[in-house]
């Protein structure tokens, strides 16, 4: 039998995406990947507006699917299964994707595979590098931040995570407070390159507490207070803005690096034979964060994997891949598949609280 071809659909936040992949678990290739962002729709509101996002997904999703098929040079007849993000995320967006996937599955007579968005991120190192289980994963995005031991396609153990905001959210809020464009991560990172990270002293939350839980909400308050202390009337000088960004980013880097050091120590106790850490999620696109994590990994004798930038942020290929893992294991869903706003990867660990841009943390 030839390797299965999977169509993947993603619409859980503010990117509408579809992709086609072909292969087997640990050995898949991306045939096409189409992402349609919504940044300009949400820009006037300074953050993602769920109703606007849901409507834009519903309008764009079938176009993204058609484009992904055409880029791959395939039709629905060549597809073996349809994978779709069934949660966690903004419910209107997730529903758009699930309804679209159900329509395709019924219309083309294809198996339907519901996928956890976070599993999509967490399994990305298997798509990009064929990483073997287990490995340590730092998932850092706009809605999530957690350390996971990835033991199998549906087997995740959380070692720690944010108790309030996700780092991507903190970058987005920082950009809003400094009148920089959304999404905040890339614009704050660009400003930080011109700034002095030592000029302002930002806190390093939770470093005084043991374990690898993280917190980022205090950083935002500190940024606001420091910004107000240097503003003249309503004006913020160019250099002040750059220094604020550099100071903020340096604090995030320090916190992530130290907590990663601790997560690695816990991981090596569990899995001394598999020294690998991978990062995923939109914040993993940040070069300063990547560099710091790479150093921590090397200091502790771990190999380090970071996906290419286009596979760090939300995309359909990771959903198609997570779907391939389930499909290859004989797991499919039926028309009762539900869209789930909350869906923690590790069902055993207690829920982490906090309202992210995608709602309560999973």
Select 25 or 184, whichever has its Cβ closest to ligand KG4: 184
Instruction: For 288-354, give the secondary structure using H, E and C.
Output: HHHHHHHHHHHHCCCEEECCCHHHHCCCHHHHHHHHHHHHHCCCCECCCCCCCCCCCCCCCCCCCCC
Select 302 or 322, whichever has its Cβ closest to Zn ion: 322
- Distance in angstroms (rounded) separating the CA atoms of residues 195 and 172: 18
In whole angstroms, the minimum distance from the beta carbon of 242 to ligand KG4 comes to: 15
Task: Name the region of 212 (left: φ>0; alpha: ψ -120 to 50; beta: rest).
Answer: alpha
Asked if 16 touches Zn ion (CB under 5 A), the answer is: no
Asked if 243 touches Zn ion (CB under 5 A), the answer is: no
Size of the site for Zn ion (CB under 5 A): 2
β-pair partners for 232: 235
- Residue 4 binds which one of Zn ion, ligand KG4, none, with CB within 5 to 8 A depending on kind? none
Select 145 or 297, whichever has its Cβ closest to ligand KG4: 145
Asked if omega into 134 is within 30° of 0 (cis), the reply is: yes
**331: which 2 tokens?**
């797991």
Select 169 or 346, whichever has its Cβ closest to ligand KG4: 169
Select 248 or 328, whichever has its Cβ closest to ligand KG4: 248
In whole angstroms, the minimum distance from the beta carbon of 239 to Zn ion comes to: 33
In whole angstroms, the minimum distance from the beta carbon of 316 to ligand KG4 comes to: 12
β-pair partners for 109: none
Select 240 or 314, whichever has its Cβ closest to Zn ion: 314
Q: Which of 141, 215, 226, 286 binds Zn ion (CB under 5 A)?
A: 141
Residue bearing tokens 């028309």: 335
Quote the Cα angle for 308-211-278, to 5°.
Answer: 15
In whole angstroms, the minimum distance from the beta carbon of 282 to ligand KG4 comes to: 2
In the complex, which residue's CB is closest to ligand KG4? 185
SS3 181: coil
- Residue 185 binds which one of ligand KG4, Zn ion, none, with CB within 5 to 8 A depending on kind? ligand KG4
β-pair partners for 116: 87
In whole angstroms, the minimum distance from the beta carbon of 204 to ligand KG4 comes to: 17
Burial of residue 78 (number of CB atoms within 10 Å: 0-12, 13-18, 19+):
middle
In whole angstroms, the minimum distance from the beta carbon of 317 to ligand KG4 comes to: 13
Residue bearing tokens 């250099």: 239
Residues 297-326 that bind Zn ion (CB under 5 A): 314
Interacting residues with ligand KG4 (CB under 6 A): 13, 141-143, 168-169, 171-172, 183-186, 189, 281-283, 285-286, 313-314
Select 4 or 205, whichever has its Cβ closest to ligand KG4: 205
Select 31 or 90, whichever has its Cβ closest to ligand KG4: 90
Burial of residue 1 (number of CB atoms within 10 Å: 0-12, 13-18, 19+):
exposed
The residue ranges of DSSP E strands in the chain, in sequence order, are 5-10, 15-24, 27-37, 81-87, 112-116, 135-140, 145-152, 155-161, 276-280, 303-305, 355-356, 359-360
- Residue 85 binds which one of ligand KG4, Zn ion, none, with CB within 5 to 8 A depending on kind? none
In whole angstroms, the minimum distance from the beta carbon of 91 to Zn ion comes to: 15
Asked if 187 touches Zn ion (CB under 5 A), the answer is: no
In whole angstroms, the minimum distance from the beta carbon of 141 to ligand KG4 comes to: 3
Q: Which residues contribute to the site for Zn ion (CB under 5 A)?
A: 141, 314
């Amino acid at each position: 039998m030839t390797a299965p071809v999977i169509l993947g659909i993603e619409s859980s936040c503010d990117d509408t995406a579809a992709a086609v992949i072909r292969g087997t678990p640990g050995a898949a290739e991306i045939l096409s990947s189409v992402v349609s962002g919504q940044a300009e729709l949400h820009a006037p509101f300074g953050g993602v507006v769920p109703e606007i996002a849901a409507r834009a997904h519903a309008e764009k999703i079938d176009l993204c699917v058609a484009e992904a098929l055409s880029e791959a040079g395939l039709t629905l007849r060549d597809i073996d299964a349809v994978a779709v993000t069934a949660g966690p995320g903004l419910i209107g967006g997730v529903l758009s994707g699930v309804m679209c996937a159900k329509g395709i599955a019924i219309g083309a007579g294809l198996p339907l595979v519901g996928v956890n968005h976070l599993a999509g991120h967490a399994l990305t190192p298997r798509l990009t590098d064929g990483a073997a289980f287990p490995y340590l994963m730092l998932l850092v995005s706009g809605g999530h931040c957690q350390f996971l031991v990835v033991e199998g396609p549906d087997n995740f153990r959380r070692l720690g995570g944010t108790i309030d905001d996700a780092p991507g959210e903190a970058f987005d809020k920082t950009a809003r407070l400094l009148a920089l464009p959304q999404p905040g991560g890339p614009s704050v990172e660009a400003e930080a390159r011109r700034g002095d990270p030592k000029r302002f002293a930002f806190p390093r939350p939770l470093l005084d507490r043991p374990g690898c839980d993280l917190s980022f909400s205090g950083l935002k308050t500190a940024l606001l207070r420091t910004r107000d202390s240097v503003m003249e009337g309503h004006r913020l000088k160019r250099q002040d803005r750059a220094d604020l960004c550099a100071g903020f980013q340096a604090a995030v880097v320090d916190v992530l690096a130290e907590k990663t050091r601790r997560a690695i120590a816990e991981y090596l106790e569990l899995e001394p034979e598999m020294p690998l850490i991978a990062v995923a999620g939109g914040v993993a696109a940040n070069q300063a964060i990547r560099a710091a994590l790479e150093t921590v990994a090397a200091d502790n004798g771990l190999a380090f994997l970071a996906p290419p930038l286009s596979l760090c942020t939300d995309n359909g290929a990771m959903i198609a891949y997570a779907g391939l893992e389930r499909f290859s294991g004989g797991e499919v869903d039926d028309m009762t598949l539900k869209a789930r706003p909350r869906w923690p990867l590790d069902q055993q660990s207690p829920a982490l609280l906090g309202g992210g841009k995608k709602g309560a943390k999973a």
